[in-house]
Amino acid sequence: MPQSRWDAVDRYIGDRLLPFDSVLDEALRANAQAGLPPHDVSPAQGKLLNLLVSMSGARRILEIGTLGGYSTIWLGRALPESGCLITLEADPHHANIARTNIARAGLASRVDLIEGAALETLPKLTFEQPFDFVFIDADKPSNPQYLAWALKLSRPGTVIVADNVVRDGALADDHSPDPKVRGVRQFFDAMAANPRLEATAIQTVGTKGYDGFAIAIVGG
């Protein structure tokens, strides 16, 4: 199936189900103008994250990998007024753009953006209350460690979602030398081996190409 067909279906979904949103549109424009890589979730994927937060009743969210804050806005909008979202970003330039986008969305009081490599900042969150929802969308070689931290910072019922886990189908290649693929495969191995997790993964196609999400819930 050609990419053009996937794009057309995403446009159809957007036209029918996702009304134009000037704040989200401006966030994408600001990210592009600032030279950020185009790694944001698609609008349909952003809405999926928003709905998952709403359905889970989450009040506290951890996002690992902010980029320009586009997914942060989708996640943060699903929180109640008293909710809290902590998002971690390693790149100071990305963080600055994200802060502007988050403030423009009216979420500055609800979102705490922490700069620094996630594996260095995650240990500082151990004093926090457990998170109800964790979104992992950062460097893929570190996904196994991010999962371990998500479990340390979770409670029974916490939802964990990881993006970009199919890698154009390379996930199924057990001989891939790509460190991103190897990181994601180790992430899957860790999920499968952990008795606290019930998990699945969904392949996706669309404007972001061929990829997918992993979704897990933490048991008791």
CATH at 195: 3.40.50.150
More confident: 2 or 67: 67
Tell me the average pLDDT of the chain.
97
8 lies in some domain: yes
Q: What is the mean pLDDT of residues 208-218?
A: 97
158 lies in some domain: yes
* CB-based burial label for 220 (10 Å; 0-12, 13-18, 19+): exposed
pLDDT of residue 128: 87
112 lies in some domain: no
55 lies in some domain: yes
220, pLDDT greater than 90: no
pLDDT of residue 172: 98
99 lies in some domain: yes
- Alpha carbon 12 to its chain centroid, in Å, reads 23
110 lies in some domain: no
DSSP structural state of residue 130? P
Q: What is the pTM for the complete model shown?
A: 0.97
39 lies in some domain: yes
Q: What is the mean pLDDT of residues 164-182?
A: 97
* CB-based contact 41:52 (threshold 8 Å): no
pLDDT of residue 19: 94
pLDDT of residue 21: 97
1, pLDDT greater than 90: no
Q: How confident is the model at residue 69 (pLDDT cuts 50, 70, 90)?
A: very high
59 lies in some domain: yes
How many domains does the chain fold into? Answer: 1
Q: How far apart are CA 103 and CA 109, in angstroms?
A: 8
Could you tell me the residue range of the domain that residue 196 belongs to?
3-105+117-218
